[in-house]
Homo-oligomer: A and B are copies of this chain.
Amino acid sequence: MKVLVLGGDGFCGWPTSLHLSDLGHDVTIVDNLSRREIDLELEVESLTPIRPIGERLRVWKQLTGKEITFVHLDLAEEYDRLEALLLEVRPDAIVHFGEQRAAPYSMRNSVAKRYTVDNNVRATHNVLVAIATSGLDIALVHLGTMGVYGYGWSGSAPIPEGYLTVKVPTPDGDIEREILHPANPGSVYHMTKTLDQLLFAFYCANDQLRITDLHQGIVWGTQTPQTVLDERLINRFDYDGDYGTVLNRFLMQAAIGHPLTVHGTGGQTRAFIHIRDTVRCIQIALENPPERGEKVKVFNQVTETHRLRELAEMISKFTGVDIAYLPNPRREAAENELNVSREQFLALGLNPTKLSEGLLEEARDIAMRYKDRADTTKIIARSTWRAGMETSPDLVKG
């Protein structure tokens, strides 16, 4: 299969590109390297040392004989080149990771809010217009987020996979209607994924595009069977307050002896998935696209749920590092339950990688190996959801 991976240089895109290439697919990475540029802006780097994309691809070819092409292209700004690329490559499928993906960054200031909306909405819309205009039958797989649903909206009912059947009162009695689960985004970033959903629904209905939207939980872990082959293939490990994801942050903090940073009560329950399962889920989604004329296919891409406080306690016990309860820079419920439907990926053969399976140790080992690269002044989360919200000072000396 010919596959374009949009955002193939990022945290999920890179291991997905290698996984699909390893399976024998003909992979082209399309990326504007914006994630590396934001590192420059934030004056922080991945804990793991990331090589230039050209070097990454040379090493992959040397090790495996498999070629991945790279196209430096901005999806939001260079529509004409994108349209020409589709006609040149004629891909069977596109995997779309090409969006700004950090909630705290998206709330950082007016520039970051606007960048997140402008980039994400235009990138997604440009991809849809380019597919429709090309006349090619290209299946699209998009990375959504569990954050489109919000937390606690549907009471004791599990969060469904995309669609919810509700009863609408009418003068002739209740009628049943299947609706897209109402949007309850908690940040500008999450909001952009709720906008994407409406773009998908329209282009699916009007142009009969074949689209899959994957509502992913919080990713943890770093390495996949491909990225471990050579240090120059290593995946990103973000630990800073904007881009670091909570579990990886705890593991890194434990590795350098920094208190584990819990914001608010830690009563937030969130959904998780290991990066190894992310790449398998993408593969499964690519192998099971919707038919032409079918509605947008939605999967919940999560394998387990945890309360943040309990995760922190587990890692504290595992490593002996203390927990620090800090002011929460986000506007969110202090405590929530979370019950997520995830039958589809399991039915299609996903064998989930759980926290219990020793990979916590692998992630800790990576954090230990590269701990000298850490900048402790970047650990505290300081992008606040509203002006004037309290944030914590640094907990250790920089």
Contact = CB atoms under 8 A, between A and B. Distances in A.
A153 B174 contact: no
Interface in A352-394: 385-387
B114 A118 contact: no
A180 B179 CA distance: 11
A79 B113 CA distance: 12
A252 interface: no
Interface string A172-211: 1011010110110100100100110011011001110000
Given A155-B175, A191-B198, A202-B185, A167 B167 contact: yes
A110 B157 CA distance: 41
A136 interface: no
A133 interface: yes
Contacts of A166: 166-169, 177, 179
Contacts of A336: none
A311 interface: no
Contacts of A180: 182-183
Contacts of A132: 110
A129 interface: yes
B183 A198 contact: yes
Interface stretch (A6-14, A17-25, A119-127): A119-127
Contacts of A207: 386
A177 B156 contact: no
A62 interface: no
Given A117-B121, A182-B177, A207-B386, A157 B164 contact: no
Most buried by B among A122, A156, A172, A195: A195
A349 interface: no
A182 B179 contact: yes
A165 interface: yes
A110 B129 contact: yes
A306 interface: no
A83 interface: yes
B135 A113 contact: no
A398 interface: no
A155 B170 contact: yes
A69 interface: no
B117 A125 contact: yes
A225 interface: no
A160 to B, nearest CB: 10
Contact of A154 (B164, B168, B194, B201): B168
B177 A153 contact: yes
Contacts of A195: 121, 195, 198-199
Interface in A72-130: 79, 83, 110, 113-114, 117-118, 121-122, 125-126, 129-130
Contacts of A183: 180, 198, 201
Contacts of A179: 166, 179, 182
A198 B118 CA distance: 15
A183 B195 CA distance: 11
A65 interface: no
Contact of A174 (B122, B167, B171, B387): B167
A183 B201 CA distance: 9
Contacts of A172: 155-156
Given A79-B110, A110-B130, 12 more contacts: A79-B114, A113-B125, A117-B122, A118-B125, A154-B170, A154-B175, A154-B177, A155-B170, A155-B175, A156-B170, A157-B170, A188-B202
10 contacts: A83-B110, A110-B133, A118-B125, A155-B170, A155-B175, A167-B167, A183-B198, A191-B199, A195-B198, A198-B198
* 4 smallest beta-carbon distances between A and B, as pairs: A157-B170, A166-B166, A167-B167, A179-B182
